[in-house]
Structure 1
Amino acid sequence: MVGLPLYVLPLGDERTASSRARVYALLPYLQKAGVDCRVLSPYDPEALAPVLDSCAKTPTLIIQKRLLDDRWRHRLVRAGVRLVFDLDDAYFAYAPTESPDRPAHRLRVAARRRHLARMVQASAVTVCGNAFLAAYAHRLGAKAAVIPTCLDLAAYPQKAPAPPPAVPVIGWIGSATNLPYLEVVRPALSALCRRGVPFVFSVVCDRAPDWPDLPVRFVPWTASGWSAALRSFDIGVMPLFSDDWARGKCGFKLLEYLATGIPAVASPVGVNGDIVRHGENGFLAAASGEWEACLERLLVDPALRRRIGEAGRRTVEERFTADRAAAQWLALLRQEGFT
């Protein structure tokens, strides 16, 4: 499939979770299929200049979750560049660290919504991580396709079999902007702690939660250490609020647990309910009592942890691998004549 060059502007480098899953993991498969992928520096303010200078008559540029300013967007459109916008977050909603009660946050979200709408409407197609985001693009009259977030399984070796630990580790991995979600699971952890159920809560992040009342183990996230930290978990959790920002999430954290063979408990919000079959390959918990019950079942039953973890790994192998996502991208590129 040799054709026109395909430029890609990622949100960040491979330390950025969404870029790692939605760009860098797919590149080997696209290049093997003959696509001339040219990845631009995510940190160079003039990174888009080569696209404008391209010898291709109508170059194609995939923009991964970046809201270009009006200057660059207008220059690209005037030059005839075909834009493909990749979106895996509900930028039109309030993030967990934002509140409509704060004027500064209202202004910030309003500006983000304007830029997002312009990006979607300027793009030939918006590739969305889930149907909720695609519905937003459709409401703007834009063309949208759904390609879920997938993982390069080679980067997720399974947790090695080992004797059950005396004190199991419940874990969460993510960025500090998502720490507010841990308040969803905190009452259940507190209840388990009061009842004397042994566990350690491991948080792999760039900032530790301030929870002096609970047995929290903070592990700083590093590019070289996150994988080993993930495999140290015996149970993974993905708590979410039930709001539009959470409904726009694409299950990356949950898929990381499942790919590693770690049984997971997640809020039944957005794609989590599509990924998890409750009691088969994971557990879904809404109310605090449900979180407590699901976590306790897994904490006291090593055989259940192993069975659920194995089923979770199979789920990723069957539905959420990078080669599957790359095949969907190739089909879209062919269909739209982008290469």
Structure 2
Amino acid sequence: MYRGILPAISLDWLGHQVSAGMQLPENWREQGLDVVVGCRVAKPGPSTVWRQMRDVGVRLVLDLDDDYFHLDPANTMAYRLWSHPRMRQGLLDNIALAHTVTCCSEQLATVLREHHDDVRVIPNGLPAQHLGSPRDYDPELLSVGWAGTASTMHELPQAVRALNRIAEYRRPGGVVVRLVGIDQSTAVSLGLKGRRLGALGWVEDFGHYLTAVEEFDVWVAPYRDIDFNRAKFPTKYLEASMLGIPLIASDIEPYRQVIRHGENGFLVRHEHEWGRYLKRLVDDPGLRRRMGMAARAGASGSILQAINQQWEAALAPAMERTPA
């Protein structure tokens, strides 16, 4: 979504003729394509088409949203797939064929510059409309939230103890822990428990996902300090800040760059701090408001309307030939 659909929508706003999908149409030769952005192109079939497009003069931009050269073994399926010699070599070959490589963070760009001379960092963004959605910073029932996937659930145990405790905290109106992206049985297997635990499971529609996380009053984003995570974009901060939600995140490289500790979020260095910062935010609606609004105030630079020109520049010179 962040590296395909949303950039395509933003380029359409600039007047370009854009389409996006999971794969190219079989009649791509008849489409009159000037430029193609391929995300994580590595498998044999797509690699063949990638080379064919290069041969007929299509400008190729290869985009990576994660560091596939420093994978996390805890994510077993992805590790097996991307550690396979054929997949890794396919990715390297397609990086070499690309005219330009784009990625989401400077840390990842450092890795990719070992394999390509033209690597551009283009951050993730969201439409400006989300900056204006109203928030109630003092609801009766307070929601503490986490959002992720099956591939990021291995980060959650760092905060499990604090989440279990805050769910039982005797606050007027109570506290509920909401999880988006994993189901109840997975949450329980990770050590989460209690009557005030809600797990929504995977939400395929991105609009529905944003609606679900907008219900959070406090957002937690635990991450292990490993190479793979250091190369990530701080997407949870992007989403939380656009929606005005105070975020507590691990003190690792991507989040350290955007969170001013105690002002627009909290950074956690030690496990016991998850509970401390959760309790401070749960107890203090004024702090939730100040921190959420401070984060939102700095989010204007993350709107798609501010980022689409970076995508346009990366796709040049093909875009220069397209009426705008």
TM-score of the two chains, using structure 1 as the length reference: 0.81
Aligned residue for 2:232, secondary structure, equals coil
> Could you tell which deviates more after superposition, 266-275 or 306-315?
266-275
Question: C-alpha deviations, 1:122-167, integer Å up to 9, x for none?
Answer: 11111110001111111114310111111113256534226442x4
Separation in structure 2 between the aligned mates of residue 96 and residue 187 of structure 1, nearest angstrom: 24
Q: 2:50 aligns with which of 65, 73, 83?
A: 73
Correspondence list, 1:23-42, <5 A: 23-37=4-18, 39-42=19-22
> Could you tell which deviates more after superposition, 125-134 or 156-165?
156-165
Residue 286 in structure 1 maps to residue 261 in structure 2: no
Residue 328 in structure 1 maps to residue 310 in structure 2: yes
Say if 2:164 and 2:192, in contact at 8 Å, map to a contact too. no
Structure 1, unaligned runs of 5 or more: 1-18
> Could you tell which deviates more after superposition, 262-271 or 326-335?
326-335
Question: C-alpha deviations, 1:173-218, integer Å up to 9, x for none?
Answer: 2222211111111132245467767532100124331145344211
Q: In structure 2, what is the equivalent of residue 12 of structure 1?
A: none
Separation in structure 2 between the aligned mates of residue 334 and residue 143 of structure 1, nearest angstrom: 12
Letter of the aligned partner of 1:89 in structure 2? D
Q: In structure 2, what is the equivalent of residue 213 of structure 1?
A: 193
Q: In structure 2, what is the equivalent of residue 130 of structure 1?
A: 105
Identity score, percent: 26
Q: In structure 2, what is the equivalent of residue 83 of structure 1?
A: 60
Letter of the aligned partner of 2:106 in structure 1? A
Say if 1:265 and 1:283, in contact at 8 Å, map to a contact too. yes
Separation in structure 1 between the aligned mates of residue 311 and residue 285 of structure 2, nearest angstrom: 39
Say if 1:150 and 1:321, in contact at 8 Å, map to a contact too. yes
Q: 1:246 aligns with which of 229, 236, 248?
A: 229
Q: 1:169 aligns with which of 143, 157, 171?
A: 143
Query: Using a 3 Å threshold, how does the CA distance of structure 1 residues 52 and 176 change in structure 2: closer, same or farther?
Result: same
Separation in structure 2 between the aligned mates of residue 233 and residue 239 of structure 1, nearest angstrom: 16
Letter of the aligned partner of 2:264 in structure 1? N
Correspondence list, 1:263-274, <5 A: 263-274=246-257
Residue 259 in structure 1 maps to residue 242 in structure 2: yes
Q: In structure 2, what is the equivalent of residue 181 of structure 1?
A: 155
Say if 2:144 and 2:217, in contact at 8 Å, map to a contact too. yes
Q: In structure 2, what is the equivalent of residue 315 of structure 1?
A: 298
Separation in structure 1 between the aligned mates of residue 130 and residue 7 of structure 2, nearest angstrom: 13
CA deviation after TM superposition for structure 1 residue 269, in Å? 2.0
Q: Report which structure shows greater RCO (CA 8 Å, sep ≥6).
A: 2
Q: 1:199 aligns with which of 175, 180, 197?
A: 175
Separation in structure 2 between the aligned mates of residue 62 and residue 27 of structure 1, nearest angstrom: 10
Separation in structure 2 between the aligned mates of residue 105 and residue 148 of structure 1, nearest angstrom: 25
CA deviation after TM superposition for structure 1 residue 98, in Å? 3.0
CA deviation after TM superposition for structure 1 residue 305, in Å? 0.3
Q: 1:119 aligns with which of 89, 94, 109?
A: 94
Separation in structure 1 between the aligned mates of residue 43 and residue 315 of structure 2, nearest angstrom: 22
Query: Using a 3 Å threshold, how does the CA distance of structure 1 residues 158 and 286 change in structure 2: closer, same or farther?
Result: farther
CA deviation after TM superposition for structure 1 residue 91, in Å? 1.7
Q: How many residues align?
A: 309
CA deviation after TM superposition for structure 1 residue 109, in Å? 1.6
Separation in structure 1 between the aligned mates of residue 9 and residue 164 of structure 2, nearest angstrom: 45
Separation in structure 2 between the aligned mates of residue 125 and residue 338 of structure 1, nearest angstrom: 16
CA deviation after TM superposition for structure 1 residue 40, in Å? 4.4
Query: Using a 3 Å threshold, how does the CA distance of structure 1 residues 120 and 270 change in structure 2: closer, same or farther?
Result: farther
Letter of the aligned partner of 1:330 in structure 2? E
Say if 1:159 and 1:262, in contact at 8 Å, map to a contact too. no
Structure 2, unaligned runs of 5 or more: none
Letter of the aligned partner of 2:52 in structure 1? R
Separation in structure 1 between the aligned mates of residue 137 and residue 262 of structure 2, nearest angstrom: 23
Question: C-alpha deviations, 1:8-64, integer Å up to 9, x for none?
Answer: xxxxxxxxxxx2x33333334423433232x1431x5xx2544434446xx321113
Q: 2:117 aligns with which of 142, 149, 157?
A: 142
